[in-house]
Protein backbone atom coordinates (compact mmCIF):
# COMPACT_ATOMS: atom_id res chain seq x y z
CA UNK A 1 0.00 0.00 0.00
CA UNK A 2 1.48 3.37 -0.89
CA UNK A 3 0.63 6.49 1.07
CA UNK A 4 -0.17 9.99 -0.05
CA UNK A 5 0.28 13.33 1.65
CA UNK A 6 -3.47 13.35 2.32
CA UNK A 7 -3.32 10.45 4.82
CA UNK A 8 -2.75 12.36 8.03
CA UNK A 9 -4.33 9.99 10.52
CA UNK A 10 -2.66 7.03 12.17
CA UNK A 11 -5.86 4.97 12.29
CA UNK A 12 -5.18 1.26 12.55
CA UNK A 13 -1.43 1.76 12.86
CA UNK A 14 0.71 0.49 15.71
CA UNK A 15 3.40 2.85 17.01
CA UNK A 16 6.11 1.85 19.49
CA UNK A 17 7.64 4.81 21.33
CA UNK A 18 10.72 3.86 23.33
CA UNK A 19 11.17 5.83 26.56
CA UNK A 20 7.64 7.20 26.62
CA UNK A 21 6.73 7.32 30.33
CA UNK A 22 7.71 11.00 30.44
CA UNK A 23 8.77 14.09 28.51
CA UNK A 24 9.00 14.04 24.73
CA UNK A 25 8.20 10.32 24.38
CA UNK A 26 5.02 10.70 26.43
CA UNK A 27 3.93 13.68 24.30
CA UNK A 28 4.50 11.67 21.09
CA UNK A 29 2.49 8.76 22.55
CA UNK A 30 -0.37 11.16 23.41
CA UNK A 31 -0.38 12.87 20.00
CA UNK A 32 -0.16 9.51 18.20
CA UNK A 33 -3.14 8.17 20.14
CA UNK A 34 -5.13 11.36 19.37
CA UNK A 35 -4.53 10.65 15.67
CA UNK A 36 -5.88 7.11 16.02
CA UNK A 37 -2.70 5.09 16.56
CA UNK A 38 -2.45 2.11 18.85
CA UNK A 39 0.56 3.11 20.94
CA UNK A 40 2.96 0.92 22.88
CA UNK A 41 4.29 2.99 25.80
CA UNK A 42 7.70 1.87 27.07
CA UNK A 43 10.18 2.63 29.83
CA UNK A 44 12.85 0.74 31.71
CA UNK A 45 12.23 1.83 35.32
CA UNK A 46 9.18 4.10 35.68
CA UNK A 47 6.59 1.34 35.39
CA UNK A 48 3.81 3.16 37.25
CA UNK A 49 4.05 6.28 35.09
CA UNK A 50 4.14 4.19 31.90
CA UNK A 51 1.12 2.13 32.92
CA UNK A 52 -0.79 5.28 33.92
CA UNK A 53 -0.15 6.93 30.55
CA UNK A 54 -1.16 3.81 28.62
CA UNK A 55 -4.38 3.57 30.66
CA UNK A 56 -5.18 7.17 29.71
CA UNK A 57 -4.73 6.68 25.94
CA UNK A 58 -7.33 4.92 23.81
CA UNK A 59 -6.03 1.54 22.63
CA UNK A 60 -2.57 1.96 24.19
CA UNK A 61 -0.67 -0.55 26.28
CA UNK A 62 2.56 -0.52 28.28
CA UNK A 63 5.65 -2.70 28.02
CA UNK A 64 8.47 -2.44 30.55
CA UNK A 65 11.75 -3.07 28.70
CA UNK A 66 15.26 -1.67 28.87
CA UNK A 67 16.00 -1.02 25.21
CA UNK A 68 19.67 -0.79 26.14
CA UNK A 69 19.66 -4.59 26.48
CA UNK A 70 19.17 -7.19 23.76
CA UNK A 71 16.66 -9.01 25.94
CA UNK A 72 14.66 -5.79 26.46
CA UNK A 73 14.60 -4.91 22.76
CA UNK A 74 13.44 -8.41 21.82
CA UNK A 75 10.76 -8.34 24.52
CA UNK A 76 9.39 -5.01 23.31
CA UNK A 77 9.03 -6.22 19.72
CA UNK A 78 7.61 -9.61 20.77
CA UNK A 79 5.13 -7.92 23.12
CA UNK A 80 3.98 -5.53 20.37
CA UNK A 81 3.33 -8.32 17.89
CA UNK A 82 1.60 -10.58 20.42
CA UNK A 83 -0.55 -7.77 21.79
CA UNK A 84 -1.34 -5.82 18.62
CA UNK A 85 -0.44 -8.11 15.71
CA UNK A 86 1.61 -5.59 13.71
CA UNK A 87 4.17 -2.80 13.89
CA UNK A 88 3.93 0.26 11.63
CA UNK A 89 6.20 2.88 13.24
CA UNK A 90 9.16 2.75 15.60
CA UNK A 91 10.02 5.97 17.46
CA UNK A 92 13.54 5.67 18.90
CA UNK A 93 13.31 8.18 21.74
CA UNK A 94 15.06 6.59 24.75
CA UNK A 95 18.51 8.07 25.31
CA UNK A 96 20.92 9.09 28.04
CA UNK A 97 23.63 11.62 28.75
CA UNK A 98 26.22 12.60 31.32
CA UNK A 99 26.51 16.32 31.97
CA UNK A 100 30.19 17.20 31.43
CA UNK A 101 31.38 20.70 30.49
CA UNK A 102 32.90 20.57 26.98
CA UNK A 103 36.23 22.03 28.17
CA UNK A 104 36.85 19.14 30.57
CA UNK A 105 38.24 16.84 27.91
CA UNK A 106 40.14 14.58 30.32
CA UNK A 107 36.85 13.47 31.89
CA UNK A 108 35.81 11.84 28.61
CA UNK A 109 37.06 8.35 29.35
CA UNK A 110 36.32 5.45 27.06
CA UNK A 111 33.77 4.31 29.68
CA UNK A 112 31.88 7.60 29.33
CA UNK A 113 31.87 7.37 25.52
CA UNK A 114 30.72 3.72 25.68
CA UNK A 115 28.02 4.44 28.26
CA UNK A 116 26.39 7.10 26.08
CA UNK A 117 26.93 5.45 22.69
CA UNK A 118 25.64 2.10 23.99
CA UNK A 119 22.06 3.40 24.37
CA UNK A 120 21.92 6.39 22.01
CA UNK A 121 23.51 4.75 18.98
CA UNK A 122 24.18 1.03 19.28
CA UNK A 123 20.87 0.15 20.97
CA UNK A 124 18.93 2.44 18.63
CA UNK A 125 20.50 0.73 15.62
CA UNK A 126 19.79 -2.77 16.98
CA UNK A 127 16.21 -1.79 17.87
CA UNK A 128 15.70 -0.56 14.32
CA UNK A 129 17.15 -3.75 12.86
CA UNK A 130 14.78 -5.90 14.94
CA UNK A 131 11.78 -3.81 13.90
CA UNK A 132 12.63 -3.67 10.18
CA UNK A 133 11.02 -6.91 8.94
CA UNK A 134 7.74 -5.89 10.60
CA UNK A 135 7.96 -2.31 9.31
CA UNK A 136 8.54 -3.65 5.79
CA UNK A 137 5.40 -5.79 6.08
CA UNK A 138 3.37 -2.77 7.23
CA UNK A 139 3.29 -1.18 3.78
CA UNK A 140 3.66 2.27 5.35
CA UNK A 141 6.37 1.61 7.89
CA UNK A 142 8.68 4.24 9.27
CA UNK A 143 11.40 4.83 11.84
CA UNK A 144 11.65 8.15 13.65
CA UNK A 145 14.80 8.93 15.60
CA UNK A 146 14.70 11.61 18.27
CA UNK A 147 18.09 13.25 17.97
CA UNK A 148 19.09 16.76 19.09
CA UNK A 149 20.20 20.24 18.05
CA UNK A 150 23.38 19.15 19.88
CA UNK A 151 23.97 16.75 16.98
CA UNK A 152 24.01 19.69 14.55
CA UNK A 153 25.54 22.62 16.43
CA UNK A 154 28.53 22.58 18.80
CA UNK A 155 26.61 22.45 22.09
CA UNK A 156 24.79 20.00 24.37
CA UNK A 157 25.15 18.38 27.78
CA UNK A 158 28.47 16.72 26.88
CA UNK A 159 30.64 16.08 23.83
CA UNK A 160 29.88 12.31 23.72
CA UNK A 161 26.13 13.05 23.88
CA UNK A 162 26.40 15.58 21.03
CA UNK A 163 28.51 13.22 18.92
CA UNK A 164 26.08 10.34 19.55
CA UNK A 165 23.21 12.51 18.25
CA UNK A 166 25.27 13.68 15.25
CA UNK A 167 25.92 10.02 14.45
CA UNK A 168 22.21 9.28 14.75
CA UNK A 169 21.34 12.13 12.37
CA UNK A 170 23.75 10.68 9.80
CA UNK A 171 22.56 7.13 10.43
CA UNK A 172 19.00 8.33 9.77
CA UNK A 173 19.98 9.40 6.27
CA UNK A 174 22.21 6.42 5.52
CA UNK A 175 19.41 4.03 6.55
CA UNK A 176 16.80 5.97 4.60
CA UNK A 177 18.79 5.23 1.41
CA UNK A 178 18.78 1.50 2.18
CA UNK A 179 15.30 0.64 3.40
CA UNK A 180 13.00 2.41 0.95
CA UNK A 181 10.62 2.14 -0.73
CA UNK A 182 8.94 0.04 1.97
CA UNK A 183 10.23 1.94 4.99
CA UNK A 184 10.97 5.64 5.61
CA UNK A 185 13.52 6.85 8.16
CA UNK A 186 13.44 10.38 9.59
CA UNK A 187 14.63 12.33 12.63
CA UNK A 188 13.41 15.18 14.79
CA UNK A 189 16.20 17.23 16.34
CA UNK A 190 14.83 19.18 19.34
CA UNK A 191 16.47 22.18 20.92
CA UNK A 192 16.03 22.72 24.66
CA UNK A 193 12.70 21.22 25.74
CA UNK A 194 10.93 21.47 29.13
CA UNK A 195 11.04 17.87 30.40
CA UNK A 196 12.22 16.17 33.60
CA UNK A 197 15.60 15.72 31.83
CA UNK A 198 16.19 19.52 31.75
CA UNK A 199 14.10 20.53 34.79
CA UNK A 200 17.09 21.93 36.71
CA UNK A 201 18.82 23.60 33.73
CA UNK A 202 17.48 27.00 34.86
CA UNK A 203 20.28 29.15 33.39
CA UNK A 204 19.91 27.58 29.93
CA UNK A 205 16.12 27.98 29.95
CA UNK A 206 16.48 31.66 30.91
CA UNK A 207 19.16 32.35 28.32
CA UNK A 208 17.04 30.87 25.54
CA UNK A 209 13.94 32.77 26.67
CA UNK A 210 15.97 35.98 26.31
CA UNK A 211 17.89 35.32 23.11
CA UNK A 212 16.23 32.72 20.86
CA UNK A 213 14.25 34.03 17.87
CA UNK A 214 11.03 32.51 19.33
CA UNK A 215 11.91 33.70 22.90
CA UNK A 216 11.02 30.49 24.73
CA UNK A 217 12.25 26.97 25.29
CA UNK A 218 10.30 24.14 23.70
CA UNK A 219 7.50 22.04 25.07
CA UNK A 220 7.21 18.28 24.54
CA UNK A 221 4.08 18.98 22.46
CA UNK A 222 6.16 21.06 20.00
CA UNK A 223 8.31 18.01 19.31
CA UNK A 224 5.32 15.64 19.21
CA UNK A 225 3.65 17.80 16.56
CA UNK A 226 6.72 17.52 14.30
CA UNK A 227 7.09 13.82 15.09
CA UNK A 228 3.61 12.86 13.91
CA UNK A 229 4.06 14.97 10.77
CA UNK A 230 7.03 12.75 9.88
CA UNK A 231 5.17 9.56 10.82
CA UNK A 232 2.24 10.46 8.56
CA UNK A 233 3.91 12.14 5.58
CA UNK A 234 4.41 9.28 3.13
CA UNK A 235 6.79 11.19 0.85
CA UNK A 236 9.45 12.25 3.36
CA UNK A 237 12.49 10.14 4.12
CA UNK A 238 15.98 11.05 5.33
CA UNK A 239 14.73 14.30 6.86
CA UNK A 240 16.26 15.75 10.02
CA UNK A 241 13.70 18.27 11.23
CA UNK A 242 14.95 20.88 13.70
CA UNK A 243 12.41 21.88 16.36
CA UNK A 244 14.43 24.41 18.33
CA UNK A 245 12.63 27.76 18.25
CA UNK A 246 15.53 29.10 16.20
CA UNK A 247 18.14 28.47 18.93
CA UNK A 248 20.48 26.92 16.36
CA UNK A 249 20.55 30.21 14.46
CA UNK A 250 22.04 32.01 17.44
CA UNK A 251 24.31 29.29 18.90
N1 LIG B 1 14.69 17.59 26.84
C2 LIG B 1 15.48 18.16 25.95
O3 LIG B 1 15.81 19.37 26.04
C4 LIG B 1 15.96 17.38 24.75
C5 LIG B 1 16.63 18.08 23.73
C6 LIG B 1 17.08 17.40 22.63
C7 LIG B 1 16.87 16.04 22.52
N8 LIG B 1 16.24 15.37 23.52
C9 LIG B 1 16.05 13.93 23.34
O10 LIG B 1 14.69 13.62 23.56
C11 LIG B 1 14.57 12.28 24.05
C12 LIG B 1 13.69 12.25 25.29
O13 LIG B 1 14.19 13.14 26.26
P14 LIG B 1 13.29 13.77 27.41
O15 LIG B 1 13.84 15.10 27.70
O16 LIG B 1 11.86 13.59 27.09
O17 LIG B 1 13.71 12.81 28.64
P18 LIG B 1 12.91 12.28 29.92
O19 LIG B 1 11.74 13.13 30.26
O20 LIG B 1 13.98 12.04 30.94
O21 LIG B 1 12.34 10.88 29.41
C22 LIG B 1 13.19 9.83 29.07
C23 LIG B 1 12.36 8.59 28.89
O24 LIG B 1 13.19 7.52 28.43
C25 LIG B 1 13.02 6.40 29.29
N26 LIG B 1 14.24 5.60 29.24
C27 LIG B 1 15.49 5.96 29.63
N28 LIG B 1 16.35 4.95 29.41
C29 LIG B 1 15.62 3.93 28.87
C30 LIG B 1 15.95 2.63 28.44
N31 LIG B 1 17.20 2.15 28.52
N32 LIG B 1 14.96 1.85 27.93
C33 LIG B 1 13.69 2.31 27.84
N34 LIG B 1 13.33 3.54 28.24
C35 LIG B 1 14.29 4.34 28.75
C36 LIG B 1 12.67 7.02 30.64
O37 LIG B 1 12.03 6.14 31.53
P38 LIG B 1 12.88 5.17 32.54
O39 LIG B 1 13.96 6.02 33.14
O40 LIG B 1 11.87 4.67 33.50
O41 LIG B 1 13.43 4.09 31.67
C42 LIG B 1 11.71 8.10 30.18
O43 LIG B 1 10.44 7.54 29.87
C44 LIG B 1 16.00 11.80 24.25
O45 LIG B 1 16.39 11.09 23.08
C46 LIG B 1 16.82 13.08 24.33
O47 LIG B 1 18.15 12.90 23.94
C48 LIG B 1 15.78 16.01 24.65
Q: What is the DSSP letter of 49?
A: H
198 lines ligand 1 (CB under 6 A): yes
**Residue 16 CB coordination number (10 Å):** 29
Instruction: Please tell us whether the domain made up of 14-192+220-243 is placed in CATH 3.40.50.720.
Output: yes
Q: CB under 8 Å to 58, separation ≥6 — which residues?
A: 33
66 lines ligand 1 (CB under 6 A): yes
| 89 in Cβ contact with 139 (< 8 Å) | no
Long-range contacts (CB closer than 8 Å, 24 or more residues apart) made by 57-65: 57/29, 57/30, 57/33, 58/33, 59/33, 60/29, 60/33
196 lines ligand 1 (CB under 6 A): yes
Q: 3-state DSSP call for residue 43? A: strand
Q: What is the mean pLDDT of the chain?
A: 96
145 lines ligand 1 (CB under 6 A): no
Distance CA 129, CA 135 (A): 10
**Per-residue model confidence as pLDDT tens digits over 64-101:** 999 999 999 999 999 999 999 999 999 999 999 999 99
Share of the chain above pLDDT 70, in %: 97
| 190 in Cβ contact with 243 (< 8 Å) | yes
Say which of 62, 79, 125, 161 is annotated catalytic: 161
What pLDDT score was predicted for residue 7?
Answer: 67
Confidence check: pLDDT of 6 > 50? no
Confidence band, pLDDT 50/70/90 cuts, at residue 44: very high
Question: Which numbered atom of ligand 1 lies nearest the CA of 45?
Answer: 40
Confidence check: pLDDT of 218 > 60? yes
Q: 3-state DSSP call for residue 29? A: helix
Residue burial 62-98, b: 16+ Cβ < 10 Å; e: rest: bbbbbbbeeebbebbbebbeeebebbbbbbbbbbbbe
Give distance in angstroms: CA of 30 to centre of ligand 1: 15
Confidence band, pLDDT 50/70/90 cuts, at residue 8: confident
What pLDDT score was predicted for residue 2?
Answer: 47
Nearest CA to ligand 1 atom 35: 19
Confidence check: pLDDT of 156 > 80? yes
Confidence check: pLDDT of 5 > 60? no
Query: How many helices and strands in the chain, by DSSP H and E?
Result: 9, 7
Question: Which numbered atom of ligand 1 lies nearest the CA of 149?
Answer: 6
Question: Which numbered atom of ligand 1 lies nearest the CA of 223?
Answer: 10
Pseudo-torsion of CA 154, 156, 158, 163, nearest 10°? -60
Give distance in angstroms: CA of 23 to centre of ligand 1: 7
Distance CA 10, CA 248 (A): 31
Active site residue 235: no
Question: Which numbered atom of ligand 1 lies nearest the CA of 43?
Answer: 34
| 126 in Cβ contact with 71 (< 8 Å) | no
Nearest CA to ligand 1 atom 30: 66
**Per-residue model confidence as pLDDT tens digits over 163-216:** 999 999 999 999 999 999 999 999 999 999 999 999 999 999 999 999 999 999
What pLDDT score was predicted for residue 16?
Answer: 99
Amino acid sequence: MSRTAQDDSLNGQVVVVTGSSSGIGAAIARRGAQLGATVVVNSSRSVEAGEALAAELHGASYCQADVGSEEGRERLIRYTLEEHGRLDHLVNNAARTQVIPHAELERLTTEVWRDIFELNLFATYQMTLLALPHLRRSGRGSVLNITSLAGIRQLGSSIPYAVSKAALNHLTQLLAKQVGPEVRVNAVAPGLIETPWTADWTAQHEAISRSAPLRRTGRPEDVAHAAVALLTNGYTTGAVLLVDGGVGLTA
